[in-house]
């Protein structure tokens, strides 16, 4: 019951996390698009600058060729901002003018025009450059490049900003998710607690306070309607069995009173009384079975019972009867085993089983009762070496009114094992018919009550 809560909380948190993640992924996509656009625009701007540089140099070259270029580059180099790279060399590879003295190793000159077509990127140190490398007529290598550092700086700042934003989104998403989960859990826990109460048998438990006008309020209303219906059905079942009892026993009572007035036919009246007693027993068993089935799963009405003591008492009650019939009896009862139960129902189970064994066994047969702890259960085993169950009856042995053809002559109504099963189920106990070499054996594993004090 309590283990269900962390799982439910996880489900809500998972949903919240999914929401946060979805929002983050969408924002990330939007930002990536924006990033890409900014990158393209910045690169285009650098390209424009480069083209402008080249156009200027082309104009000078048109006027006075290499000399003008050399002067202009010299002039530009002295006022270098670090954002541009210029280099002019002579035929022998000696620098004529520029912001640097050597030709970058990774760059090969191509073409001899002054357009920015075929501009290439190259890196030197930590800086990227957009460069145009030409060999001017006469074999003068010319390098004009624009630093991409401003672009990279801007993009880096943009990335940092995006990263921060995503972090903030995740944190906010988690926080909202956690808060939502907490509030949802609070309301679900109310309903869970109610379900626990009902499971423990308090069919009349309801949530206090007014319903809120949201989906949770609706859920609570539905749960309440369901519980009302279950409670009514349960009450009707109980009332019906009371009414049956009343309507059947009252006329039987009148019959019995009249029977007492008959004189001189003692044997006949004794027979009739015995028949009536059998009929009442059968009918009590039927009511007990349906009541146990109606109460199954609810822990209501069950109290701590010393199963060992109860078993010993019922055993002691029947032991002399078994001995008188010539059975070899043996009880092995571990003392102090406690369960949550109804003492009279448990006694009825044992009484039915032991009485059956005594009825069906013959002198010399063995009858044993064992009660031992078995993990978190108490194992009760009643076994005998009598005729056992006919194989064709094993499957339906626990059905009402099942009796073997060969047992026609033995008194009984075929409700004993059905009642045993219903009472076991009422206690949440597991019932099995283990295979035996000879005779009949039945095991009931009762949920054990842990000693708390």
Partner 1 sequence: MDRILIIEDDPETAAAVRHEAEALGCATDHRDTLAAGVEAATTGQYKVIVLDRMLPGGDGVDAIARIRAGGSTAMILVLSALGRAANRVEGLEKGADDYLPKPFEPEELRARLRALLRRGTIQVLDNDLLAFGELEIRLKARTVHVKRNHVPTSPKEFDLITYFARNAGQVVTRMQLLENVWNLHFDPGTNVVDVHVGRLRRKLEEAGATAIQTARGEGYIFAPLSA
Residue 267 Cβ, how far from partner 1 at the closest point, in Å?
A: 11
Q: Between residues 223 and 280, which has the closer beta carbon with respect to partner 1?
A: 280
For the CB of residue 324, give the shortest distance to partner 1 in the complex, in Å.
6
Q: List residues binding partner 1 (CB under 8 A).
A: 242, 245-246, 248-250, 252-257, 260, 266, 270, 273, 276-278, 280-281, 284, 287-288, 291, 301, 313-314, 316-318, 320-321, 324, 342-345, 347-348, 351, 355, 358, 411
Between 137 and 301, CB nearer to partner 1: 301
CB 358 within 8 A of CB 320: no
Please say which residue, 33 or 317, places its beta carbon nearer to partner 1: 317
**Closest approach of Cβ 6 to partner 1, in Å?**
39
Minimum distance of partner 1 from residue 287's CB (angstroms): 6
Alpha-carbon gap, residue 269 to 262, rounded angstroms: 8
Closest contact distance (angstroms) between CB of 211 and partner 1 is: 33
Q: Which helix (H) or strand (E) holds 403?
A: none
User: Residue 316 or 376: which CB sits closer to partner 1?
Assistant: 316
Instruction: Compute the C-alpha angle 96/104/145, nearest 5°.
Output: 75
Q: What is the Cβ-side half-sphere exposure of residue 409, based on CA atoms within 13 angstroms?
A: 2
Q: With the C-alpha atoms ordered 106, 110, 116, 117, is the resulting torsion angle positive or negative? A: negative
**3-state DSSP of 240-259:** HHHHHHHHHHHHHHHHHHHH
- Residue among 125, 124, 126, 130 at smallest CA distance from 147: 130
Q: Specify which residues 437 forms β-bridges with.
A: none
Angle 215-259/149-199 helices, nearest 10 degrees?
A: 20
Per the structure block, which two tokens stand in for 287? 């009511």
In this complex, which beta carbon is closest to partner 1, that of residue 267 or of residue 453? Answer: 267
Q: What whole-number distance in Å separates Cα of residue 131 and Cα of residue 147?
A: 9
Closest approach, Cβ 428 to partner 1, in A, equals 18
* CA–CA separation, 196 and 184 (whole Å): 18
State in angstroms the smallest separation of the CB of 227 from partner 1: 23
Nearer to partner 1, 158 or 331 (CB): 331
Q: Please, which residue, 264 or 434, has the CB nearer to partner 1?
A: 264
């Amino acid at each position: 019951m309590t283990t269900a809560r962390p799982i439910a909380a996880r489900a809500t948190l998972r949903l919240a996390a999914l929401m946060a993640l979805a929002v983050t992924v969408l924002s990330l996509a939007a930002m990536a698009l924006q990033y890409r656009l900014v990158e393209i625009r910045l690169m285009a701007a650098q390209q424009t600058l480069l083209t402008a540089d080249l156009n200027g140099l082309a104009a000078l070259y048109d006027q006075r060729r290499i000399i003008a270029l050399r002067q202009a580059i010299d002039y530009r180099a002295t006022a270098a901002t670090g954002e541009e790279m210029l280099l002019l060399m002579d035929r022998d590879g000696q620098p004529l003018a520029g912001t640097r003295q050597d030709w970058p190793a990774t760059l090969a000159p191509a073409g001899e025009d002054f357009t920015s077509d075929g501009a290439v990127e190259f890196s030197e140190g930590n800086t990227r450059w957009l460069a145009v490398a030409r060999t001017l007529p006469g074999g003068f290598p010319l390098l004009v490049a624009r630093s991409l550092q401003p672009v990279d700086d801007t993009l880096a700042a943009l990335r940092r900003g995006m990263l921060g934003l995503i972090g903030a989104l995740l944190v906010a998403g988690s926080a909202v998710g956690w808060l939502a989960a907490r509030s949802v859990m609070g309301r679900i826990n109310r309903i869970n607690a109610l379900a626990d109460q009902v499971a423990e048998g308090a069919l009349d438990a309801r949530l206090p306070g007014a319903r809120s006008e949201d989906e949770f309020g609706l859920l609570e209303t539905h749960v309440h309607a369901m519980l009302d219906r279950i409670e009514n059905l349960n009450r009707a079942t109980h009332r019906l069995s009371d009414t049956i009892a009343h309507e059947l026993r009252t006329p039987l009572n009148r019959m019995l009173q009249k029977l007492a007035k008959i004189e001189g036919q003692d044997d006949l009246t004794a027979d009739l009384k015995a028949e009536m007693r059998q009929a009442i027993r059968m009918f009590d068993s039927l009511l007990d079975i349906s009541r146990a089935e109606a109460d199954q799963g609810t822990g209501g009405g069950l109290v701590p019972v010393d199963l060992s003591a109860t078993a010993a008492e019922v055993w002691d009650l029947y032991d002399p009867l078994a001995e008188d019939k010539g059975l070899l009896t043996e009880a092995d009862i571990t003392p102090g085993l406690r369960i949550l139960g109804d003492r009279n129902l448990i006694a009825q189970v044992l009484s039915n089983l032991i009485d059956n064994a005594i009825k069906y066994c013959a002198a010399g047969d063995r009858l044993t009762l064992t009660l031992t702890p078995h993990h978190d259960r108490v194992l009760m085993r009643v076994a005998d070496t009598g005729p056992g169950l006919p194989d064709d009856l094993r499957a339906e042995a626990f059905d009402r009114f099942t009796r073997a053809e060969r047992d026609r002559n033995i008194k009984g109504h075929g409700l004993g094992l059905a009642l045993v099963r219903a009472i076991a189920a009422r206690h949440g106990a597991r019932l099995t018919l283990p295979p035996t070499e000879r005779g009949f054996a039945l095991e009931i594993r009762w949920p054990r009550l842990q000693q708390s004090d």
